[in-house]
Amino acid sequence: MSDHFCEAVIVTCIDFRFQEYINSWISQNFHPKSYDRVAFAEGVHDLEAILKQIEVSQKLHHIKKVVFINHEDCGAYGKEGTDKRHHEDLKNAAQKVKEKFPDLEVETYYLHLGGTFEEIT
């Protein structure tokens, strides 16, 4: 098996309403064929499953960066999915990645219904 490299793993929700926004944001911010892409219903909520995916991306493709994109009105969060809750979950996810994978950069975004990406820091 040959070694191949990519820049990042990008983790998003499965929600069909946001895929066009995500596709165009990715094409503005990443070169083609430079990222792995993972979709989970509820975005970063199931962190254990996501950490496993990151581990695989790092092992196989030597990624340098993790990008988390949660979105407004996420059905998987239901009523608990306030802006505040998403911000907290994104920050917590970033923290966990930094603990487990200290060499990786992490970027987190909250995607609004109208397609605006808000960076959470």
Q: Shortest approach of Zn ion to residue 120 CB, angstroms?
A: 16
Which residues are paired to 92 by β-bridges?
Answer: none
**Cβ proximity to Zn ion, 10 vs 63, nearer residue:** 10
Shorter beta-carbon distance to Zn ion: residue 13 or 106: 13
Site residues for Zn ion per CB under 5 A:
13, 15, 74
Shortest distance, position 14 Cβ to Zn ion, whole Å? 7
Query: Minimum CB separation from Zn ion for residue 62, in Å?
Result: 29
Quote the DSSP letter at residue 111.
E
Which pair of structure tokens corresponds to residue 120?
């959470």
Tokens of 49: 């499953």
Closer to Zn ion by Cβ: residue 20 or 55:
20
Q: Tokens 């970033």, residue?
A: 94
Minimum distance, C-beta of residue 77 to Zn ion, in the bound complex (Å): 7
Helix axes 83-100, 47-61, angle to 10 degrees: 40
> Cβ distance 101 to 54 under 8 Å?
yes
For Zn ion, the closer CB: 11 or 74: 74
What CA–CA distance (Å, rounded) separates 110 from 93?
Answer: 13
